[in-house]
Copies of this chain bind each other. A is one copy, B any other.
Amino acid sequence: MTTIPTEAVVPARVEDSAPELVAAAVDAAQGASAASASANDADRARWLEAVADALDDARDELVEIASRESHLPIPRLTGEVARTTGQLRLFAAVVRDGAYLEAIIDRARPEATPPQPDLRRILRPLGPVAVFSASNFPFAFSVAGGDTASALAVGCPVVVKGHSGHPELSVRTARLVAEALSRAGAPAGIFGLVLGREAGQALVQAPGIKAVGFTGSLSGGRALFDLASSRPEPIPFYGELGSINPVVITPAAALARTAELAAGLAGSFTLGVGQFCTKPGVVLVPAGSGFESALAAEASAHDGGPMLTARIAAAFPQGVQRLVAEGGAAVVLGEAAQEASDGSASPVVLAVDAARVVERPDVLLEECFGPATLLVRYRDEAERDAVLDAVGGSLTATLHAEAGEDVAALADRLAEHAGRVLFGGWPTGVAVTWSQHHGGPWPATTSALHTSVGATAVRRFQRPVTFQDAPQGVLPAALRDENPLGILRRVDGTLTRAAL
């Protein structure tokens, strides 16, 4: 194996990657593909843990750069590093568990008509993956975030396209990742970084790239999805594109807990200056419930703050203005047309009748990235359901009801439109666990089966291969008779850890 120096695949400084550097990173990833795929699970788990350790060790330095570039507060960023390294370690656990290989064995049945061969199925890595990092999570959805971790976990090399909102952090993180992987014995070229919009487009079109993970805007994501789909060899594009995250408050809950719910919502929609893809953007409240004034009072106690980038800061007041001027929303709190010359934003609460939302979903249901939420007043269940159907696909949907209310039909409706349905609580904050899912019907994500958080995120980068009548020596360890990995397998239809 030739050794590819880190310098060849991670830029030394912040500058858009020239086409030949993109090509070199893809070539390096392709060169690392076979060795990544054939590495054993214990080694791959160790690589992920080595990256996690390196990031934890460099935490203070990284947080300082991230804070300077993203304007996010130190405590939030410190927590995000912990979440990111915890995520890397979760994927190491997923790999060690072995069920992610989905080993299935059907032994030969020579007596069947026609005779049935010995068939053994496993999931294998797709090959090099391009990862587009996000502006709003400089760690957890960026260079060493969930997409990168899940791709490396299953044996796919990764080329990251760093976000322009935190390029210095991208370069520094990438260097740490590449060096940690190298020290841990991962194949040379398994990880690279490119910068710049054109580099990103080239990456999606590079024949050597076999899948894309993306977190970002609907417009940017759709454009890249179209590029990926229209390649001579189309590749899967797993995009998380944006989300309205509807919240429903029942009349009983509004009556019983207005102050508590207003306080919770105010904390959620202003968190991180409203720059979360799980921010509650539309909140359905019973008409005449007095929730508007309660929320205004609570939200006014929250400070605004600087936004991630100048572009985002400029777009926020424009988005609010559009909801008011074109959508006809009333301003409950805040200035509809804030001046964002200092790049910061303050909380905005808007309100509108349900009927109006159904009339102008194109304006009123457009995601407004920043600390704004739209209260939608509904008079009955029909209006409520019409708004939920108009919202369509979201990452999350949240229901606040009182104990004893029959919410089964409503919960079904929410589950139809969202990938995560919350009963109480608020959607900001995404626990990284085996069962987590961070996806939803279009336009929340481009792939309904997509998840960029949770143990099953790895499956985006795997494909099945079935071996027919293969000699033991040729089979992957997971499929051998003696089950050397001790993993759970389905054998002749039954789940078991037993050897054959």
| Chain A residues proximal to chain B, CB less than 8 Å | 34, 38, 79, 93, 97, 99, 102, 104-106, 114, 116-117, 119-121, 124, 126, 210-211, 225-226, 229-230, 233-234, 236, 403, 407-408, 411-412, 415, 418-425, 429, 431, 433-437, 439, 441-443, 446-449, 451, 454-456, 459, 462-471, 473-474, 488, 490, 492-493, 495
Contacts and interface: CB of A to CB of B under 8 A. Distances in A.
A493 B34 contact: no
Contact of A117 (B106, B425, B466): B425
B106 A468 contact: no
B493 A421 contact: no
A500 B74 CA distance: 39
Given A418-B465, A435-B466, 9 more contacts: A38-B412, A119-B435, A225-B229, A411-B470, A422-B469, A423-B468, A424-B469, A436-B466, A449-B463
A425 B468 contact: yes
A106 B433 contact: yes
A18 to B, nearest CB: 28
A365 B296 CA distance: 67
Contacts of A38: 412
Contacts of A120: 435
Given A411-B470, A465-B415, A434 B106 contact: yes
A423 B470 contact: yes
A447 B126 CA distance: 11
A442 B124 CA distance: 15
A174 to B, nearest CB: 27
B437 A121 contact: yes
B451 A464 contact: yes
Contacts of A463: 419, 439, 441, 448-449
A443 B429 CA distance: 40
Contacts of A434: 104, 106, 490, 492-493
Contact of A490 (B435, B467, B469): B435
Given A236-B448, A425-B468, A119 B490 contact: no
A418 B468 CA distance: 12
Given A423-B467, A442-B234, A449 B462 contact: yes
Rank and list the top 4 A-B pairs by shortest CB-CB distance, nearest first. A104-B435, A229-B229, A121-B435, A448-B463
A467 B421 CA distance: 5
